[in-house]
Structure 1
């Protein structure tokens, strides 16, 4: 029993199981939606950031392209002004250079070099190179090419500045090459690029941009210490060198994961790269998830509460049915209350179980009736009688036992048949039932033998009852049409015996004494000698008291019971 209780305690109830399953389903659904939303938002943020960076890089590329076209146009115009440079004096050249530099503000310095490689003039004057021959490789290449020229970033020998040099050839009216006019950008100082792009600082989320020249050196970067650095190993810069534009997720040379948009500048072959750290997206996603959780925690809690309540309501009728079935045993069947359930399946199941239990109760009641009742007479049977006797003895309830046996019953069966004998048994049962009280117990003990238990009655009182039965049968109109008699023996608990078996045995001995004394009489067992006392209608026995003799001889009426 203890092991069964332990086993049952380890089992999960339907309410707990259903609540857990529904809660788990809701939680998994919420988690799946949250993960799906997270992935969707992440993809959207990455795509949006890449698209925005590519768009920004494209706009900056157009700006640089337009700027360099204007710068090139400005140099071309200035070159046309110096077509007769050999006929111009120094002051005239200087004035024109100053006017050009200040009117456009494109270059940090402007230089005019003749066809021999001698610097004819410089603006501003602080650049002390007038009258000297050019020494830098970029200037020499520009002079030798006699074409528009754009240098790579390099450091000047005299000023140690990091610059980019741009030039236009000068031809006189006869088409003879007379040198070039060139402008420089001081990359590490304020220049036209700083003026234009300096208004686009790094945003709060860490996004920034940089500009590289055609071979991968940095021309513009938020960290000025990196200007001139060769970053061609960068995968995006490699694609720019190859002339490609686009956007992608990449890892820079410092191992930082970035979202990059990059565009090639058509005019000069430079490239613009706009990047955002992937941590920017992750931070936005973190804020997004926190916001979703804050917005959903209350509705989700309410939903979970509703789900749990519904799960418990759904499980309640099934739990009640399970408890009902577990409470029903072969000896006790409890029927469910008749009520409608809101759940169709629970309602149908309740009705089905109720019908089954009703049928089971009927069958159990019938089986119980069959097990405790004599099928012929409808009286209780021997098993029930013995159970009652044992119960009364345990409770110390005094009672008398009357054993009755129809006289010469075998001859009745042999003469009139067993059907007539059965009718006689039923007739006798009706007579006894009409005599005994409702509190008395009357049963068919077996064959033509019957027993009556008379509670709280001494042997003498039971004798009166027995005599009334005997005379009632003798003088009644029975199914056989002629008188039928009965012999009876009486014993009393606890004067005659202390056990049911011994009590019946003593009463049975009294019955045999009645049979041996001529039948159709009642005998009380002797309380003193544990033998039997008897009386018949014609003789007196010495051990019987006077009142008993009078009743036995039929000269005294029996009191009504």
Structure 2
């Protein structure tokens, strides 16, 4: 009699080794790609933010210096014309009016100019169509200026009659015997055409979305891309609060509308105002997306080829993947030292290891190339200003004594104006080439900016540096440049720590020596004067 065996549980379908390994390999490749992208994203994001903050501060500082110089010139114009009106009490109204017209037409600083007597009566106004001549002053700012008897800059305020947002500047007028006669004042209409709007009214920093705005000493907006915000109180903004304290710097900030921004800001000493250059964080995000898309574009085809190859030979390649995944996961986070590729017992694993090593090496070389380009001047091939500041910081921190030569091409503006900027660039490349060929092996030359170069000479005393500088100067003087006229340079030398103990002071001291060389006739080298010895106790 036959006995039937009871059927057991249904066997589950098992994955084949090929399918399992293929799935694992596919997962590893995808994870590796993700790690690479995340690491690259974080690294690039930090780099972009630091670069944008520094550039915004540089732009804000440059504009604040421009505005500071402008207001010093405005103050000088007021002081000069106030001195010219010192005999106002014996002049006729026509003579004073002629002086005001001449002042307004020659400088274009002010939208209107007024002379107010010590009794508070407007004696003259230019243009006369304003119609305030003969009337008593009514605005609080003009009353303060009249009572102060000193140079005065008002906070922006809205006029009662014309509803204009203006700034009022004044200079006291004293007679030749010291009698107070009144004030000479000028107004700038902030929302109309004037010297400030011509220089600062554009508000655009670049084509990518960065912009700037200007605030007064009380935190009110003077210039902004949105004209309707002029006069608005934004003193609660953290950056504006620092400007109100006279500080300058760079930081991330959220504006009153809740937008995250990267801000560089700088105060203006002449009037207490502040300039803020900002870039929206959305700008960084757009650049990061473009960066990721570029990486994906470059990596997609190699990874597809790699994946197909791995799938075909995946049966016995499990062990190498853990190592390769760990290696690629470090990309974007740390410097990777590629070890020597050792032969693997599996031919397929050996080929894959070499392919991944090649890809990682290529990406790392590309990153190193970008780092090198960031420290190199594109025109001359010399180290750039960023590299100079880094080297100076390293040498000063280590206490290494060195000399510094600041070199400036003589009459370079004449070259640009006469032969054009393309020829000017050729002159700069020629100068760079002659400098490099004239230096010692350990000397380093940087392009500082424009037609100015800085040479660093480690462990070199000023007199030795002078010989090097003279060798460079004579080589340039005797060289045949891209232009018919002779190319010459003026040079200033400073020594660390003899002339200064910090970077800014050292560059400033060398610059002063350079300016002395310029003043003495150009095409020469000057060593900075030694600091006077401290008096003995």
How far off is 1:236 after superposition?
1.1
The correspondence for 1:218, drawn from 211, 217, 221, is 221
Query: RMSD between aligned alpha carbons?
Result: 2.2
Aligned to 2:297: 294
State the secondary structure of the residue aligned to 1:179: strand
Q: Deviations over 1:150-206 (max 9, x none)?
A: 101111122221101011111111122111111111011112111012355364332
State the secondary structure of the residue aligned to 1:188: coil
The correspondence for 1:177, drawn from 165, 176, 180, is 180
| Partners of 1:199 and 1:155 in 2: CA distance | 22
How is 1:529-548 mapped onto 2 (pairs within 5 angstroms)? Answer: none
Aligned to 2:196: 193
The correspondence for 1:6, drawn from 5, 8, 11, is 11
| Partners of 1:2 and 1:42 in 2: CA distance | 63
| Partners of 2:21 and 2:207 in 1: CA distance | 50
The correspondence for 2:166, drawn from 158, 163, 175, is 163
Q: Deviations over 1:499-538 (max 9, x none)?
A: xxxxxxxxxxxxxxxxxxxxxxxxxxxxxxxxxxxxxxxx
Aligned to 1:55: 58
How is 1:336-485 mapped onto 2 (pairs within 5 angstroms)? Answer: 343=346
State the secondary structure of the residue aligned to 1:293: helix
Q: Deviations over 1:304-351 (max 9, x none)?
A: 112222314658xxxxxxxxxxxxxxxxxxxxxxxxx963999xxxxx
Aligned to 1:78: 81
**Distance change >3 Å, CA 262–CA 211, structure 1 → 2:** same
The correspondence for 2:264, drawn from 256, 261, 265, is 261
State the secondary structure of the residue aligned to 1:266: coil
**Distance change >3 Å, CA 199–CA 254, structure 1 → 2:** closer
Aligned to 1:142: 145
Aligned to 2:136: 133
How far off is 1:128 after superposition?
0.6
Higher relative contact order (CA 8 A, sep 6+): 2
State the secondary structure of the residue aligned to 2:308: helix
Structure 1 gap segments, 5+ residues each: 316-340, 347-561
TM-score, normalisation: structure 2: 0.57
- Residues 83-92 or 299-308, more deviating: 299-308
**Distance change >3 Å, CA 301–CA 99, structure 1 → 2:** same
TM-score, normalisation: structure 1: 0.54
Q: Deviations over 1:339-384 (max 9, x none)?
A: xx963999xxxxxxxxxxxxxxxxxxxxxxxxxxxxxxxxxxxxxx
The correspondence for 1:124, drawn from 119, 122, 127, is 127
Aligned residues: 319
| Partners of 1:344 and 1:222 in 2: CA distance | 64
How is 1:220-239 mapped onto 2 (pairs within 5 angstroms)? Answer: 220-239=223-242
State the secondary structure of the residue aligned to 1:6: coil
State the secondary structure of the residue aligned to 2:276: strand
1:242 aligns with 2:251: no
State the secondary structure of the residue aligned to 2:116: strand
State the secondary structure of the residue aligned to 2:58: helix
State the secondary structure of the residue aligned to 1:159: coil
State the secondary structure of the residue aligned to 1:55: helix
| Partners of 2:59 and 2:179 in 1: CA distance | 44
The correspondence for 1:89, drawn from 75, 86, 92, is 92
Higher Cα radius of gyration: 1
Checking the alignment, whether the CA contact within 8 Å between 2:201 and 2:223 is kept in structure 1 is no
The correspondence for 1:28, drawn from 5, 27, 31, is 31
| Partners of 1:17 and 1:212 in 2: CA distance | 65
Aligned to 1:115: 118
Structure 2 gap segments, 5+ residues each: 1-5, 319-343, 350-537
